[in-house]
Chain A
Amino acid sequence: MSRFIPNRAEHFEKMFRAIGVEGISDLLQSIPLKYQLKEDLDLPDPVSELELQREFEGYAGRNTGADKICFLGAGAYDHFIPAAVDHVLLRSEFYTAYTPYQAEVSQGTLQAVFEYQSMIARLTGMEAANASMYDGASAAAEACLMAMRVTRKQRILIAGSLNPRWADVVRTYLKRDDFEINEIPFLEDGTLDLSIAAKLIEGGTAAILVQYPSYFGLIEDLQPIADLIHEHKGLLIVAADPVALPLLRSPGDAGADIVVGEGQSMGIPMSYGGPYIGFMAARKKLARKMPGRIIGRTSDRADQVGYVLTLQTREQHIRREKATSNICSNQALMALANTVYLSLMGESGFREVSNQCFQKSHYLHQKLLEIPGVSSVFTDTPFFREFAVSFPVSSLEIHDGLMEEGILAGLPIVELGEGVMLITVTEKRTKEEMDLYVKSVSEICRGGGR
Chain B
Amino acid sequence: MKTIFEMSSPGRIGSSLPILDVPASASIPANLSRNGEVGLPEVTEGQVMRHFVNLSTMNYHVDKGMYPLGSCTMKYNPKHFENLARLPGLSGIHPLVPEDMAAGTLSIMYKLEEFFCEITGFEGASLQPAAGAQGEFCGLMLIKSYLESIGEKHRNEVLMPDSAHGTNPATSTLADCVIIGVKSNEFGEVDPDDLREKAGPNTAAFMLTNPNTLGLFESRIEELTSIVHEAGGLNYMDGANMNALLGVARPGDMGFDVCHLNLHKTFATPHGGGGPGAGPVACTAELAQFFPDPVVIQNEDGSYSLSKKQNSFGRLLAFYGNTGVLYKAFAYIRTLGAAGLREVTENALINANYLKARLEEYFDIPFNNGPCMHEFVLSGDRQAEKGVKTLDMAKRLLDYGFHAPTVYFPLIVHEAMMIEPTETEGLEDLDAFAEAMISISKEVEEKPYLVTDAPVNTPVLRLNEVQAVKELCIVEPPDEEEQ
Contact = CB atoms under 8 A, between A and B. Distances in A.
Contact of B275 (A172, A333, A349, A355): A333
Given A7-B426, A119-B40, A249-B32, 4 more contacts: A30-B371, A61-B104, A95-B273, A134-B130
Contacts of B102: 63, 65, 272
A128 interface: yes
Of residues A30, A99, A318, which shows the largest number of chain B Cβ atoms within 10 Å of its Cβ?
Answer: A30
B3 interface: yes
A115 B41 CA distance: 10
Interface in B259-299: 264, 268, 270-277, 292-293
A63 B341 CA distance: 29
Interface string A55-72: 111111111111110101
Contacts of B474: 114, 117, 128-129, 287, 294-297, 310
Given A24-B350, A72-B94, A246-B34, A4 B76 contact: yes
A49 B82 CA distance: 12
Nearest 10 A/B pairs, CB to CB: A273-B319, A60-B89, A172-B314, A333-B272, A46-B337, A65-B101, A6-B426, A65-B97, A332-B274, A273-B95
Nearest to A356: B20
A52 B318 contact: no
Contact of B14 (A92, A270, A345): A345
B148 to A, nearest CB: 11
Given A19-B353, A58-B104, A65-B94, A115 B249 contact: no
A15 B465 contact: no
A306 interface: yes
B170 A325 contact: yes
Nearest to B119: A41
Contacts of B179: 320-321
A106 interface: yes
A75 interface: yes
Nearest to B1: A111
A16 B170 CA distance: 40
B317 A274 contact: yes
28 contacts: A7-B351, A15-B350, A15-B354, A21-B371, A36-B249, A52-B335, A64-B103, A66-B89, A67-B89, A94-B59, A101-B406, A117-B474, A122-B38, A129-B474, A135-B130, A138-B317, A168-B314, A172-B141, A272-B320, A300-B460, A310-B469, A321-B170, A323-B170, A326-B134, A333-B275, A343-B48, A345-B14, A349-B15
B467 A80 contact: no
Nearest to B89: A60
Nearest to A273: B319
A195 interface: no
A5 B424 contact: yes
A122 B268 CA distance: 36
Contacts, number: 677
A304 B459 CA distance: 10
B316 A138 contact: yes
Interface stretch (A227-235, A357-365, A369-377, A439-447): A357-365
A352 B468 contact: no
B357 interface: yes
B22 A43 contact: no
A182 interface: no
Of residues A27, A307, A343, A411, which shows the largest number of chain B Cβ atoms within 10 Å of its Cβ?
Answer: A343
B60 interface: yes
B461 A47 contact: no
A2 B340 contact: yes
A76 B95 contact: yes
Interface stretch (B191-199, B322-330, B377-385, B442-450): B322-330
A298 B173 CA distance: 32
A208 B166 CA distance: 31
Of residues A97, A114, A127, which shows the largest number of chain B Cβ atoms within 10 Å of its Cβ?
Answer: A97
A363 B80 contact: no
A417 interface: no
A104 B316 contact: no
Contacts of B8: 346
Of residues B72, B90, B356, which shows the largest number of chain A Cβ atoms within 10 Å of its Cβ?
Answer: B90
Given A246-B34, A349-B14, A382-B32, A300 B141 contact: no
A108 B55 contact: yes
Nearest to B67: A98
A95 B85 CA distance: 14
Contacts of A287: 472, 474
A123 B41 CA distance: 12
Interface in A308-328: 308, 310-311, 315-323, 325-328
A343 to B, nearest CB: 5
Interface string A38-53: 0011111111010011
A359 B26 contact: yes
Given A310-B472, A349-B13, A98 B271 contact: yes
B97 A72 contact: yes
Contacts of B467: 298-299
B395 A118 contact: no
B28 A78 contact: no
Contact of B58 (A41, A107, A274): A107
A111 B167 CA distance: 26
Given A35-B254, A82-B15, A321-B169, A97 B32 contact: no
A329 B141 contact: no
